[in-house]
Structure 1
Amino acid sequence: MKFTDGYWQLRPGVDVLHPVEVDDVRVDDAAGTMTVWATTKRVRGRGDTLNAPLVTLTYSSPAPGIVKVRVEHWAGTRPRHPEFAVRGTETHVTTHVDDESAVLTSGDLSVRVRRTGPWRVDFESRGRVLTSSLPKGAGIVSSPEGPFVHEQLALGVGEKVYGMGERFGPFVKNGQTVDIWNADGGTSSEQAYKNVPFYMTSGGYGVFVAHPELVSFEVASEMVERTQFSVAGQQLEYYVIDGPTPKDVLERYTALTGRPPALPAWSYGLWLTTSFTTSYDEQTVTQFIDGMAEREIPLSVFHFDCFWMREYQWCDFEWDPRTFPEPEAMLARYKDKGLRICVWINSYIGQRSALFAEAAEKGYLLRTTDGEVWQWDLWQAGMGLVDFTNPAAAEWYASKLDALLDMGVDCFKTDFGERIPTEGVAWFDGSDPQRMRNYYTHLYNRTVFELLERRRGRGQAALFARSATAGGQQYPVHWGGDNDSSFVSMAETLRGGLSLAMSGFGYWSHDIGGFEGEPDPAVFKRWLAFGLLSSHSRLHGSGSVRVPWAFDDEAVDVTRRFTRLKLSLLPYLGAAAREVVERGTPMMRPMVLELPEDRGGWDVDTQYLLGSSLLVAPVFSADGEVHVYVPEGTWTDLLSGETLTGPRWVEQRHGFDSLPVLVRPGTVLPVGASDDAPEYDWADGVTLRLFELPDGFDETVTVPAADAGVDATDVDFRVRRTGDEVVVTTGSGRAWALESAGRTERFDAGTGEGRITLA
């Protein structure tokens, strides 16, 4: 939200109070806080203290390297909830106050408030200033729309801003106005399904604005030298998060708001759906499943979209008997084929559903302020909204899904959760309706994910969720929502995924081929390669099916090729997933996240790193023309063996069965012995492929167990290069191999040391 009219003036009806000078500083060592009272005008004598508002700024730290800031006008307003849950650690902060400044330090990060001269607050780390709140930075606003509090943090020359959730516009947010407000707006607008009030910059820090309600960002827009964020009310809370690298920022941020969990191996395989409004029954579904097997395309999950339930009755969680008369027997047959089963759900209950009357009677649906059930006709006729702030309602909702798990369902697509009313409604626990707009999806996805964890075990639960906010990364997987079937939409989909990755979400998927419309074969085939080199891969559409033979024979070949490629890469992808769990580093990584030292990649939003070592550049054209940015060093194309040396842009042309997949120099790439299913012993028969290892290379490569919680254990390979020889030692107990420049040396099970001479 903009409050000024250019640099000098305010907008009509707007008045803003800014901190001008420090009146007092008080330190509470027991609480670990430093509180600063700032005047909003120059105080030259006692008389100037009358009729003069103060701004109270309180600094604290929930964990090393993170500083919490609370900017407050009036303290007497009632607490508003819900609030984002943050995880603190016992951290020792130090403070130092003298005549010149007041300083609070946590880890390497300090906040320094100047006590003399013009107002200035610096956030410092490792001897440099990361960002600052300068004169007119913090502001207490009165306006025709009500009170607001804003903060402005300075941007350096050339500094780039990223994140703020899954946003489909430009990846670099400089120059944009971004409103954190969940909406069902597709992928072609400024609206977003997953709004996260967190950003990071190329300057080595991140900022988390801890408000579930509307947070409005002006990113180098209203003030081109600053990033402004504002919220309605009398208080503003935000956290400055130290780096120095983007990965370090994400590690601290996800420790604060919650880390993504491990996911089951089967979730990394190919998902196929009925599509949305297509006509289907058990015979149709069986033809899809058998058609994939006949064409030797490995399929891991089959998903039933909305019309597995009867029209006008979403959600009643009952199979439509006209099309699926024997669902338990049907699911058993599909399970016998080795498939996992996903079904579509949402948190809206249509009036014709028998569950509507049950939920209304028990008080499980959101009510209006006059005590009636809140209803409308959008999406489902007369639908109501499950009130997850009521623990009994959440338990009731989960019990309906529990019955489906008993039937053989493995996971749920938790659709919607964005169309949440903010006026004239009363939540069970008294939650602020404005705050529930974004937060509702958090409660919805948490309810379903925790049920799956209780039933399936930690590391065996997976969703396919559309909406989210801060902390939602704990309940994966998330997919990109309703896109169009075009190359332009394919590119905007990738931008959304890259922005979400910079917002703490470790896993991400999208509708291969696009959702709306029917992709032409070229779009579908190009999207296949992109989708199957994403963390999770799903074939899904709206009014037309996405089985590859619906397009042409080549689409079948491309689907088979890239599905099998992904399955063979699971030893490598599993290690990347381990980083999601342990550090919060996403599997799909923007160039700036993985290679922040390379300024040439800061703006690049048409390619990404899958894990730390595979650079993927999707092809966004029918003729196969693609421009790929090659970072410094000699990179090797995984599919062709061609080497490219950077840093530079390279123009290439690829067939539908290819795209640039460049292996980073200094990589030991573990490739699995199986490519027909995701659930295999990833270490048994693994081949370690060596790419441009420097002399003196000495690293341990871990091939993780396929699933957390199973008997299989991780296997370590220590890889050392001396001169032209590479020596590997391991306690694997399984067969394994070394490969370099097309030459392969194989070693029997139990061989503890192997070597290969480099060409």
Structure 2
Amino acid sequence: MRFRDGQWLVAEGVRTEYAEEVYRVSPMPSGKGVNLLCPTRKIRSRGDTLNLSTLSIDIEAVFDGVISVETTHWQGAARRGPDFDIFPAGRPDVEAKISKDETGTTVSAGGLSATVSGKPHEFDIAFHPTGSKKPLTTLLNRSVGFAYTPAPSTPMQLADMRQFKHYIFTQTTLSVGESVHGLGERFGPFNKVGQTVDLWNADGGTSSDQAYKNISFWMSSRGYGVFIDTPERVQLEIGSERCCRVQASVEGQRLRWFIIYGPSPRDVLRRYSILTGAPGSVPSWSFGLWLSTSFTTSYDEETVNSFLSGMRARDIPVEVFHFDCFWLKAFQWCDFEFDRDMFPDPKGQITRLKADGIVKKVCVWTNPYLGQASPVFAEAAAKGYLLKRKNGDIFQWDLWQTGMGIVDFTNPEACAWFVSCLERLFDTGVDCIKTDFGERIPSEDVQWFDPAVDPKRMHNYYAFIYNKLVYETLQKRYGANEAVLFARSATAGTQRFPLTWGGDCESTPEAMAESLRGGLSLGLSGFAFWSVDIGGFEGYPPPWIYKRWVAFGLLCSHSRLHGSNSYRVPWTVDDNDESDEGCSATLRKWTHLKARLMPYLFSQAQDCVKNGLPLSLRAMCIEFPDDPTSWTLDRQFMLGDSLLVAPVFDEDGTVQFYLPKGNWTNFFTGEVKSGPGWFTETHNFGSLPLYVRPNTILVLGKEGETRTVYDYTCDVDVRTYFAGEGAKAVLVDSEGRRVGVLEVRDGEVVGKDVLRGNSSITVVRS
């Protein structure tokens, strides 16, 4: 939100007040920080202390490399929930250090410090690496304040605050050349400088500035990140109100954020994952191909069987079959009951599919909305399980499902009932759940079961409690590391409940690029696992788009064929072209390649869970932060530490991509290109720029491997690429347990004793 009209004027209808100086610095009761008393005018006489506002700023050491900053205007404002679940795995200890000298007061948390200037009548707080005076960012003059809308003409009007909105804002400085990234799954420009960003979950598709997954965390190219600790609407002006500042504002009386020091993006993400939670583990089978019925298509048991039989006949393994919306009866979404007209024996059907080996797992589509035509609506309404209006009516509207209600997950009995509905599905043979929707949660005229929650804070937070409930129900049924969601909505912390997909995109190359940018931004927001609707969701993809998207989608951490009103089985896209360049052959090749990559992918996945890293899509700047070009790249990504992927967006197969410093090897041809530099190639549908990073030991399944789950140490193909002393590859089994390490010592690969069968080691490049 913009509070000014240019640099000199206040915006029409707005009154702003700023912290003009630090009048007093006091120790906090915790002993780990300081409190700053900051009046909104400079105090030059005792009379200046009267009839003015003050801001209170708490600066506190949180843990090594992390400092919190909380700004408050009126301390007596109620603290209503919900709040983010901070430190879910426990809070680390911190050795806070507070020192004072002639320059000011410094609070240190290990490698990060905040120094409050000691000059009289000055407001200046610098955040810098401990031991260095070079700031990462600062809070300077007129950078912390509050605003009223409309602008009161006299303080007496504020006796009745019902007529006014009150905002708190802070503005951290942007340095020359600094870029800002993350903030959830955002589909616009990768670098957010120059943008206004509204962190408010919305169902807006991928071709808009709205986002399904708004994450109040951003990363700077200068080696730090900022996590804004509130689930309510946060409005950011990122070099867009003042070109040299990032402004965060919330409606209310207080605003807290954490500054997280790296210095590398990896360090920032690891520390962020300590704050909000590490990504959950995913089972190895989830990396295989997921096939969906699509959204509004008509299908029944025979259709499902024909899809899976067709895929088997074309040697395209399907790991998970997904029943989208119309497994339910029309107008009865979501009542958790198969439409018996189309699926007379769902349990028997699922049992037969699995027994035949045609598919391993089954997923169904759900959401937290109940159409009033469904029998469960009446049950949930009678028992008080649905969100209500302030007058006691159930909150209903005809947006999406006719007369739909919204499950109130602040009601423990509603949660238990929802869990019982899920358990009936599990009894039918369902293994995983697509948790769709959860974005359009009303914030006005709403009364939650829990009267302590703020409806505006619940809007974004609903995605957390919704996905958490389903994920933990899956864990209870199938095991801690066997739970898998396919979620669309998210907020900070939802990375703990994998996985997510990118939402509704068109079947165009532009939408594929939008989706890629969204995945990159979400990866820089602490999410390890991500997928996309291969082929695009809306429309009818031409064969060339479908095939280019297949190559991109099978090199994401998770891969799902899904559309809206048209099927995504390959033979329906190109009239069953059986050539080597047809859709079926293309899908077969990339599905088989992903199966071969599983020893590498699943090992990398364990590291991602441990350190809060994205597996794919991983922005280039995470691996190459010292290369300025890496912070600009939004049409390519890293798949784990060692594989670079550049999807193709042109019909003729032309693609331009960037290689950082070093000798990079083409995975398919063995050709070596030396970076740094830009390169242009032309690819058929069976390839794209897939380059192996120098100093890599790459472990692959055997030639011809088509399974996702197998012994990742038996009959494997180990390749070394310019692997020098100390190069390593961690070996895991299909449960993710570490079973060994391959390492180059004195020019030889050691640790080979853990390899079994006909495993081989090949020096591809030395």
TMscore range, shorter length:
over 0.9
Residue aligned with 2:458, SS: helix
Of 423-432 and 533-542, more deviation after overlay is shown by: 423-432
- With over 3 angstroms needed to count, the CA separation of the structure-2 counterparts of 1:574 and 1:267, relative to structure 1, is same
Find the counterpart in structure 2 of residue 406 from structure 1.
427
Among 534, 540, 563, the residue aligned to 1:512: 534
Query: Is the contact made by 2:603 and 2:730 (CA closer than 8 Å) also made in structure 1?
Result: yes
What residue in structure 1 maps to residue 129 of structure 2? 125
User: In the aligned structure 2, how far is the partner of 1:279 from the partner of 1:356?
Assistant: 25
2:568 to 538, 541, 546: 546
Query: Could you list the per-position Cα deviations for residues 456-477 of structure 1 after superposition, in whole angstroms to 9, with x for gaps in the alignment?
Result: 1111000000010111101111
Alignment partner of 2:115 out of 97, 109, 112: 112
CA distance in structure 2 between the partners assigned to 1:388 and 1:370 by the alignment: 20
Do the aligned residues in 2 keep the contact of 1:701 with 1:719 (CA within 8 Å)?
no
Letter in 2 for 1:441: A
Distance in 1 separating the partners of 2:30 and 2:514: 49
CA deviations 1:596-638 (Å, max 9, x no partner) are: 1111221010000000110000000110010011111110110
| 1:296 corresponds to | 315
2:708 to 678, 685, 689: 678
SS at match of 2:56: strand
Aligned to 2:658: 629
| Distance in 1 separating the partners of 2:231 and 2:31 | 25
The alpha carbon displacement at 1:33 in A equals 3.0
In structure 2, the partner of 1:159 is 178
Residue pairs, 1:696-715, within 5 angstroms: 697-708=725-736, 714-715=739-740
Alignment-derived partner of residue 16 in structure 1: 16
Match of 1:750 in 2: none
Which residue of 547, 560, 569 maps to 2:588? 560
1:610 aligns with 2:639: yes
| One-letter amino acid matched to 2:136 | L
Match of 1:745 in 2: none
Residues 281 and 498, structure 2, Cα contact 8 Å, conserved in 1: no
Q: Which amino acid aligns with 2:268?
A: V
For 2:506, which of 477, 484, 493 is the aligned residue? 484
Partner of residue 82, structure 1? 82
Count of residue correspondences: 736
Matches of 1:115 and 1:55, distance apart in 2: 17
Deviations 1:321-366 (Å, cap 9, x if unpaired)? 1100000100001111242000000000110111111111111100
For residue 703 of structure 1, report the CA deviation from its aligned partner. 1.3
Provide the C-alpha distance between the structure 1 equivalents of 2:251 and 2:466, rounded to a whole number of angstroms: 25
**Shift of the alpha carbon at 1:43?**
1.1
Look up the match of 2:301: 282
Matching residue's letter, 2:348: A
CA 739–418 in structure 1, closer or farther in 2 if over 3 Å, else same: same
Amino acid at match of 1:691: Y
SS in structure 2 at match of 1:368: coil
Question: C-alpha distance in 1, partners of 2:538/2:378?
Answer: 34
Match status 1:365 vs 2:369: no
Q: Counterpart in 2 of 1:212? A: 231
Q: Within 2, Cα distance between the matches of 1:171 and 1:254?
A: 22
Task: Read off the aligned partner of 2:611 and give its amino acid letter.
Answer: R
Secondary structure (helix, strand or coil) at the match of 2:751 reads strand
Mapping of 1:2-401 within 5 angstroms? 2-28=2-28, 30-87=30-87, 88-98=91-101, 100-117=103-120, 118-126=122-130, 127=132, 128-144=134-150, 146-336=165-355, 337=357, 338-401=359-422
Structure 1 residues 310 and 204: alpha-carbon distance in aligned structure 2, compared to 1, 3 A threshold = same
Shift of 1:320: 0.3
Aligned partner of 1:182: which letter? N
1:661 matches 2:680:
no
Amino acid at match of 2:718: L
Q: CA deviation at 1:424?
A: 0.3
SS of equivalent to 1:290: helix
Superposed displacement of residue 244, structure 1: 0.2
Shift of residue 52 of structure 1? 2.0
Q: State the one-letter code of the partner of 1:181.
A: W
SS at match of 2:500: coil
**Given residue 349 of structure 1, which amino acid in structure 2 is its aligned partner?**
L
Question: Quick check: 1:212–1:435 contact (8 Å CA) kept in 2?
Answer: yes
Q: How much has 1:699 moved relative to structure 2? A: 3.4
Which residue identity lines up with residue 707 of structure 1 in the other structure? E
* Equivalent residue, structure 2, for 1:746: none
Once the two structures are superposed, residues 91-126 of structure 1 have per-residue CA deviations (whole angstroms, 9 ceiling, x without a partner) of: 221111345412111111111111214310001114
Deviations 1:656-687 (A, max 9, x none): 11100000011100112362221111111222
Query: Counterpart of 2:147 in structure 1: which amino acid?
Result: V
**Cα drift, residue 39 of structure 1:** 1.6
**CA deviation after TM superposition for structure 1 residue 30, in Å:** 3.9
How far apart are 1:28 and its partner, in Å?
A: 3.3
Aligned residue number for residue 160 of structure 2: none
The amino acid that maps onto 1:536 is H
- Indicate yes or no: 2:449 matched with 1:428: yes
2:521 counterpart of 1:496: no
> Aligned partner of 1:43: which letter?
I
Say whether the 8 Å CA contact 2:214–2:491 is kept in structure 1: yes
Give TM-score scaled by structure 2 length. 0.94
TM-score (norm 1): 0.95
Cα shift at 1:740: 3.5
Indicate the residue corresponding to 2:676 in structure 1.
647
Structure 2 counterpart of 1:748: none
Q: For residues 156-178 of structure 1, give each alpha carbon's deviation from its aligned partner in whole angstroms, at most 9, with x where no partner exists.
A: 11011000000000011010000
Shift of 1:41: 1.0
* Counterpart-to-counterpart distance in 2, 1:67 and 1:90: 13
- In the alignment, is residue 720 of structure 1 matched against residue 724 of structure 2? no
2:720 pairs with 1:690: yes
For residues 14 and 606 of structure 1, the distance between their equivalents in structure 2, rounded to whole angstroms, comes to 41
Verify the 8 A CA contact 1:398 1:448 in the aligned structure 2.
Answer: yes
Q: Runs in 1 of length 4+ with deviation above 6 angstroms?
A: none
> In 2, distance between residues paired with 1:29 and 1:209?
23
8 Å contact kept, 1:312–1:381: yes
Q: Please, which moves more after superposition, 21-30 or 651-660?
A: 21-30
Deviations 1:419-456 (A, max 9, x none): 11111011111211111111111111001000001111
Deviates more, 1:473-482 or 1:673-682: 673-682
Tell me the secondary structure at the aligned position of residue 426 of structure 1: coil
Question: Is 2:713–2:756's contact at 8 Å kept on the other side of the alignment?
Answer: yes
| 2:302 match: secondary structure | helix
**Alignment partner of 2:632: what SS?**
coil
Q: CA deviation at 1:731?
A: 3.8
Identity rate of aligned residues, in percent? 47
- Supply the distance in 2 between the matched residues of 1:112 and 1:426 (Cα, whole angstroms): 44
Instruction: Output the CA distance in 1 between the equivalents of 2:13 and 2:100.
Output: 39
Which residue pairs with 2:479 in the alignment? 457
Q: Specify the alignment match of 1:751 in structure 2.
A: none
